[in-house]
């Protein structure tokens, strides 16, 4: 099978002529934790202390929010990150949004979402869920959604760089590596394979056709 990546080393390619923008396109894996863990705690505090949402309701909404992220992850990866608008500009937009990751899959500085992308998405989802659920319930639901996102980002980084032997991790790693190196048109789940099963985007190649380093 032909090689569908440029470099498998931990190296970065310059994406922007502007030095500030190029620096901002690279982010350490811990950055999402610094930004979103305090936000998660803040929302849960408001759910408990300000809106006084019952504990079991908070737990249920938190789990629902986490589950909602797995669907958002699949939709964003499949229909946004893998969408290439027509023309030269469209190709450029696709490269900046996600194509660079497929060309340089082990670039450790481009494995988690930079805040310049994740924060606007966070704001959009926050207002969406506040509109749908109301302020009180959103304060319990949205932390679960954020933790789902953090699970995705940390899992994605680990799949490319961590040496973990747990069977669940190895299963997810195999799934993601096949997406990168063999079949980028399928296998859009990163932290979960659930939606690939539901929407029929499971891999159609024989497992004997590829090898994944464990």
pLDDT, tens only, 56-115: 999 999 999 999 999 999 999 999 999 988 988 888 888 888 989 999 999 999 999 999
- pLDDT tens digits, one per residue of 33-51: 999 999 999 999 999 999 9
Instruction: Give the mean pLDDT of 110-134.
Output: 95
pLDDT, mean over the chain: 91
Give the pLDDT of residue 212. 46
Q: What are φ and ψ of residue 102, in 5° steps?
A: -75, -25
The pLDDT-based confidence of 183 (bands split at 50, 70, 90) is: very high
pLDDT of residue 163: 92
pTM (2 d.p.): 0.91
Please give the pLDDT value at position 205: 63
Mean pLDDT of 164-172: 95
Distance from C-alpha of 68 to C-alpha of 71, rounded to nearest angstrom: 5
Specify the pLDDT at position 144.
Answer: 98
The confidence score (pLDDT) of residue 2 equals 43
User: Among residues of the chain, what percentage have pLDDT more than 70?
Assistant: 93
Closest CA to 192 of 205, 184, 202: 202
Q: Is the pLDDT of residue 214 over 80?
A: no
Residue 207 has pLDDT above 70, yes or no: no
| Domain map (residue ranges) of the chain | 28-162
Percentage of the chain lying above the pLDDT 90 cut: 74
- 6 pLDDT band, cuts 50/70/90, is confident
More reliable by pLDDT, 97 or 150: 150
Q: Give φ, ψ of 211 to 5 degrees.
A: -130, 140
State how far the Cα of 68 lies from the Cα of 51, in Å rounded to an integer. 22
If you average pLDDT over residues 136-163, what whole number do you get?
A: 97
């Amino acid at each position: 099978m032909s090689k569908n990546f440029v470099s498998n080393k931990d190296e970065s390619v310059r994406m922007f002529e502007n030095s500030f923008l190029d620096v901002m396109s690279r982010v350490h894996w811990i950055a999402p934790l610094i930004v979103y863990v305090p936000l998660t705690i803040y929302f849960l505090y408001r759910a408990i202390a300000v809106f006084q949402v019952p504990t079991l309701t908070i737990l249920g909404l938190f789990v629902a929010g986490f589950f909602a992220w797995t669907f958002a992850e699949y939709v964003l990866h499949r229909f946004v990150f893998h969408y290439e608008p027509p023309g030269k500009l469209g190709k450029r937009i696709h490269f900046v949004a996600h194509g660079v990751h497929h060309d340089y899959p082990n670039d450790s500085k481009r494995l988690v979402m930079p805040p310049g992308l994740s924060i606007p998405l966070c704001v959009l989802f926050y207002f969406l869920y506040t509109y749908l659920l109301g302020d009180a319930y959103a304060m319990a639901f949205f932390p679960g959604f954020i933790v789902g996102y953090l699970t995705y980002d940390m899992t994605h980084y680990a799949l490319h760089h961590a040496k973990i032997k747990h069977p669940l991790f190895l299963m997810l790693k195999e799934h993601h590596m096949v997406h990168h190196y063999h079949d980028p048109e399928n296998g859009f789940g990163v932290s979960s394979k659930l939606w690939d099963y539901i929407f029929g985007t499971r891999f159609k190649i024989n497992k004997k056709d590829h090898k994944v380093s464990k």
